[in-house]
């Protein structure tokens, strides 16, 4: 029963990790950034990005921890 619950938590964490990574803003504009105005390049919400980074790293740690726990067979 515990293995089934942790497996579902692991799957949910994986889905949330994918969503949180996709929510990150791109770091560069590529070639399109050369033609844009210089003022728009540095107007990002830094605190929102920091919070999203913390969420992503926490989800990654939980995901990897559960992967090790479930694959090692310690819960049998």
**Tell me: the pLDDT tens digits for 6-52?**
999 999 999 999 999 999 888 765 555 555 555 544 445 688 888 99
Query: For position 21, what pLDDT does the model report?
Result: 93
- Helix 46-72 and helix 2-23, axial crossing angle in degrees, nearest 10: 150
- The domain segmentation of the chain, as residue ranges, is 1-19+46-76
33 vs 74, higher pLDDT: 74
């Amino acid at each position: 029963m515990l293995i089934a619950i942790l497996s579902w938590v692991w799957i949910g964490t994986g889905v949330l990790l994918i969503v949180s990574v996709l929510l990150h803003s791109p770091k560069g504009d590529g070639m399109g950034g050369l033609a844009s105005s210089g003022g728009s390049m540095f107007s990002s919400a830094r605190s929102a990005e920091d919070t999203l980074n913390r969420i992503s790293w926490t989800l990654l740690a939980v995901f990897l921890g559960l992967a090790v726990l479930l694959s090692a067979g310690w819960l049998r």
